[in-house]
Amino acid sequence: MAGWKDAADRDMHVRGQLFNLAKGPLPLTWSTSEKDPRKGLLKVLRVLRPPKDVKVQNVYVKREDGTRLRLLVLHAMVGAHGGATPRDATGVLWIHGGGYVTGAPEIAYIGMPPYMLRERPCVVVCPQYRLAGQMPFPGGLEDCRLALEWLHGNAGDLGVREDQIFVGGESAGGGLTAALCLYERDLARAGRSSVPIACQMPLYPMLDNKPTPSSANNSAPVWDTRLNQQAWDLYLKEMDRERITPYAVPARETYYQGLPPAISFVGTLDPFLDETVSYMGALRSAGVPTDFRVFRGCYHAFDMLSDSQKGREARDFFLRRFAHACDTYTTD
């Protein structure tokens, strides 16, 4: 992937050069955030402002150990979709990216959530899950599951349909999306209490800690081989790499029946190209409805980080499929 500059679409090439320059300080940013969550990239992300047509609410949910999980709850402003606060809306748990090691719920402001709120009546819940520096796996997954349970348990108060809970996210958030869907499906199969998920939306998900043809020797912008390996090492810490559960590394899963319908896309320069293609192909082979596209000449998170033609095409594709999912998929 050393020749990414020749493979990148023209309108993304210059931006890619700038993003490549920004990759250097990331490990230092991670270590700063580990020592003090108020510093580093987390502080920068918190200055992001929501769009004017998005209403924001912070909710705090207690974990079993007594600490609190912050949830960023996003609503469309009253009057959106031709009415007052929506009832029977779609509930969306949206999980931020950042390689499991950095990031914050406020990333949602520059991602898909504002567009989803405009496209269909929905409520979006974004958890500030524990990053690998605070707690390696399973800390992040436990927090996402707690957020999912809160969303489902408060569906009535939020105006959300209990039978139409979606889960999605980009990058590591897409990996946690896949892991959460696997976990909830397996709980249900075991006859234990679970939250039914009507649709999964893992965008260019981070699924495989082992090198793939697209993640090995990748020097493309935003995310590359070096950052990917550092992030997985922090997330998996001292786990036995030969006995890793699919809830930590979803690419280890071999049984895909019973998982929710899926929407995804990825760029051809993304390290996660092959693992995304493999995951979506496995779902399709298992009879799970899938909507999936690959965008030529696009690197990681291209839809969020540049207003390029391909970024707009990806967003339009996703929103069309999201609207279809809202009109089609329920857990009943």
Dump the DSSP string for 68-114: EEEEEEEEEPTTGGGSSS-SSEEEEEEE--STTTS--GGGGGGSSHH
Distance, CA of 183 to CA of 172 (rounded, Å) = 16
Residue 97's nearest CA partner among 110, 85, 84 is 110
pLDDT for the residue 84: 44
What are the two backbone dihedrals, phi and then psi, of residue 238, each rounded to the nearest 5 degrees?
-105, 25
Task: State the DSSP code for 39.
Answer: S
The CATH code of the domain that includes 106 is: 3.40.50.1820
**Mean per-residue pLDDT of the chain:** 90
Residue owning tokens 């069309």: 320
pLDDT for the residue 80: 62
Q: Where are the alpha helices (DSSP H) in the chain?
A: 4-7, 10-22, 26-35, 41-46, 113-119, 139-153, 155-158, 172-189, 225-236, 273-285, 302-305, 309-328
Q: How deeply is 239 buried, as exposed, middle or buried, from its count of CB atoms within 10 A (0-12, 13-18, 19+)?
A: middle
What is the domain extent for residue 166? 4-328
pLDDT for the residue 29: 55
pLDDT for the residue 110: 94
- The reported pTM is 0.93
What is the per-residue pLDDT across 275-320, written as a single tens digit (0 to 9) for each? Answer: 999 999 999 999 999 999 999 999 999 999 877 899 999 999 999 9
pLDDT for the residue 158: 96
Identify the three-state secondary structure at position 126: strand
How many structural domains comprise the chain? 1
Indicate if the pLDDT at residue 34 is higher than 50. no
Distance, CA of 329 to CA of 332 (rounded, Å) = 9
Higher-confidence position of 46 and 189: 189
Query: Tokens in use for 241?
Result: 């790499």
